[in-house]
């Protein structure tokens, strides 16, 4: 697809061997356009997060095509890949080193990737996520959940990435903080032209952030559709209809939640 910065065709990820083997991702194919937010939605264990880990190389995956920013990453990923692609994890407390200050969290990737002007970038990253420089010497346990996730996002921005892989970036946060982080991500995307691949089980988050989404079940994509169709009942698959019905049963209507998050 023209303008695609993530291209995946027939991605498979298997855990275990022999009779213990389990196919966590099964023949998944999709593409993400430059500047787009593409969602992967489904219940826990459907393979969403495993796809992100296969892209980054945290788990091994086989694919006919696995290309990011024009680079074939089926066999290896160079330093430039990790500058262009960064990941924001679900739980910021687990993602941050408990014995490192905020400043050291920012400087560590700069050191590893030999990023020039690291201190200036660190200050700019903190400013861009709305954190006071008074927090520079605090440790993760001294921060709120929202502040920790802002630090994690600032750290991801240090290399000047083009693509952020977002693994349930708000699910570990209080509801009152979730909208702040989602709006921050939207603002950063507008300012920097970022491309997002977002994993979520929350249809309201997907409805607010994404233009297109792939619905996953048991490692497979059951359908890919525009979020407008998701909100307005345009789905053709029974599984997707059940996901929407389950959300509504918990008072989480996708259209209403999209408006709330906005």
pLDDT in tens, 78-117: 888 999 999 999 888 888 999 999 999 999 988 888 888 9
By residue range, what is the domain housing residue 46?
A: 34-58+77-253
| Residue 222 belongs to some domain of the structure | yes
Number of domains in the chain: 1
Q: At 224, which CATH number?
A: 3.40.50.300
| Residue 170 belongs to some domain of the structure | yes
pLDDT digits (tens, 9 = 90+) for 46-78: 999 999 999 999 999 999 999 998 899 998 898
Q: CA-to-CA distance for 242 and 257, rounded, in angstroms?
A: 17
| Residue 118 belongs to some domain of the structure | yes
Q: What is the pTM of this model?
A: 0.90
Dihedral sign for Cα 137, 129, 170, 45, please.
negative
Dihedral sign for Cα 243, 244, 246, 252, please.
positive
| Residue 18 belongs to some domain of the structure | no
| Residue 149 belongs to some domain of the structure | yes
| Residue 65 belongs to some domain of the structure | no
Coil, strand or helix at 183: helix
| Residue 26 belongs to some domain of the structure | no
Q: CA-to-CA distance for 150 and 81, rounded, in angstroms?
A: 23
Rounded to 5 degrees, what are φ and ψ at 114?
A: 50, 50
For the ranges 91-95, 203-207, 214-218, the maximum mean pLDDT occurs at: 214-218
Q: CA-to-CA distance for 77 and 68, rounded, in angstroms?
A: 10
């Amino acid at each position: 697809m023209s303008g695609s910065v993530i291209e995946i065709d027939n991605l498979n990820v298997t855990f275990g061997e022999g009779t213990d083997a389990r196919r966590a991702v099964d023949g998944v194919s999709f593409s993400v356009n430059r500047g787009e937010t593409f969602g992967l939605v489904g219940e826990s264990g459907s393979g969403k997060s495993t796809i992100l880990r296969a892209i980054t190389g945290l788990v091994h995956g086989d694919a006919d095509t696995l290309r990011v920013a024009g680079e074939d990453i089926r066999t290896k990923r160079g330093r430039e890949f990790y500058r262009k692609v960064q990941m924001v994890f679900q739980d910021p407390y687990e993602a941050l080193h408990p014995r490192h200050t905020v400043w050291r969290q920012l400087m560590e990737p700069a050191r590893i990737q030999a990023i020039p002007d690291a201190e200036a970038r660190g200050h700019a990253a903190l400013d861009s996520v709305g954190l006071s420089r008074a927090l520079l010497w605090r440790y993760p346990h001294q921060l709120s959940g929202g502040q920790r996730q802002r630090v994690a996002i600032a750290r991801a921005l240090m290399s000047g990435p083009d693509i952020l892989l977002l693994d349930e970036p708000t699910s570990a946060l209080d509801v009152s903080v979730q909208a702040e982080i989602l709006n921050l991500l939207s603002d950063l995307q507008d300012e920097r032209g970022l491309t997002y691949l977002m994993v979520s089980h929350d249809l309201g988050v997907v409805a607010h952030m994404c233009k297109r989404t792939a619905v996953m079940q048991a490692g497979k994509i059951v359908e890919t559709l525009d979020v407008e169709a998701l909100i307005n009942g345009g789905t053709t698959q029974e599984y997707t209809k059940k996901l929407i019905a389950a959300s509504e049963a918990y008072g989480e209507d996708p259209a209403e939640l999209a408006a709330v998050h906005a």
